[in-house]
Amino acid sequence: MTMKTKAVLAATAVGAAVLIRNLKNRQPDRSFLGQVVLITGGSKGLGLQMAREFGRRGARLAICARDSAELDRAKGDLERRGYEVLPVTCDVTEEHQVRDMVRQVIARYSRVDVLVNNAGAIHVGPLESMQAADFKNAMDVIFWGTLYPTLAVMPSYIARQSGKIVNISSIGGKVSVPHLAPYSAAKFAVAGLSESLRSELAKHNVTVTAIFPGLMRTGSYRNAQFRGDAAAEEGWFSTGAQLPGLTLSAGRAARMIADATRDGVNERVLGAPAWTLDRAHSLFPAKTMELLTAAATVLLPAITGRGPVRGSALRKVAGPALKMLLWAGQRTAKSLNQGAA
């Protein structure tokens, strides 16, 4: 066989491999075909994008939220894409409502295969501006809003000896983030709960996956609550949630979460910045917190009347770029059913 013939055969083999890979990638992922996926906080933001992703993979959907009008819009969005969906109005901070919601889902579909605990609340501001009520609200929505649905599906999971639980925590549930104390405290609680559930439910063939996303472009800033210098806090938070390279698109995050759910992994950190922060904190916890403290002191706003509004010079210099980022953020928020709070 001549060298030329060998080269032609090698090139043909490479081309065939690429063609097969491309054809495989074009095949629809039906890894959740016929499965019932219940997503709390599924009417907007990451929750809605996850519903789209699980629906794309063949799942039958149930979504819950407190706002019935918001649920109706999400239902329309999902049905236009050809997905079967049951919307249920439910406040996940109320255990009796959660139990009733799960009963409705089981009455409709006969079971729940995957529970995604996604409902959340974000309180932004310096610690001294926070009130006890802010911490209580964060714990009610994020922690109790994870525990109540979990307790509601557990009996059927144990009886069936099968099921998946996915808890959406945050990188803030591994490394406490300045000016997000209530949020981080509640997300840490979710991380601890996930470990306990995983160790105790494994014998029943129930997998528990904890997800730790970094900053995501989901439009969630539209529904955050701001304390202290509220305008300045909203400025840094909404801008940071759009920065290229530091944030993850909602679509990519949803795909990664669906993959982690399918594979039954224990936990997954989403996004390179979040992964880097997690590794740094694991190896050098004291130094990492020193750097976060320094960054917060220099970059984050002070309470009105107690110092200069930090970041104002940056906003003047980078005004057009920031406007473009916020414009992009508004488009994302609209596409994910995020209205103003």
pLDDT tens digits, 43-86? 999 999 999 999 999 999 999 999 999 999 999 999 999 999 99
Q: Are 38 and 49 in contact (CB under 8 A)?
A: no
Q: Are 130 and 152 in contact (CB under 8 A)?
A: no
Residue 21 domain flag: no
- Domain extent, residue 236, equals 29-335
How many structural domains is the chain composed of?
1
List pLDDT tens digits, range 108-118: 999 999 999 99
pTM: 0.86
Residue 275 domain flag: yes
List pLDDT tens digits, range 327-339: 666 777 777 767 7
183 is catalytic: yes
Residue 240 domain flag: yes
CA distances from 164 to 8, 128, 146, 261 (A): 49, 39, 14, 7
Q: Is the pLDDT of residue 326 over 70?
A: no
The residues with which 207 forms a beta bridge, in sequence order, are 164
Token pair recorded at residue 28: 């629809």
Residue 3 domain flag: no
User: Residue 54 contacts by C-beta under 8 Å, 6 or more apart in sequence?
Assistant: 32, 37, 39, 61, 114, 116, 258
What pLDDT is stored for residue 302 in this prediction? 79
Residue 203 domain flag: yes
Measure CA 46 to chain center.
5
Catalytic residue among 83, 148, 183, 221: 183
Q: Are 156 and 109 in contact (CB under 8 A)?
A: no
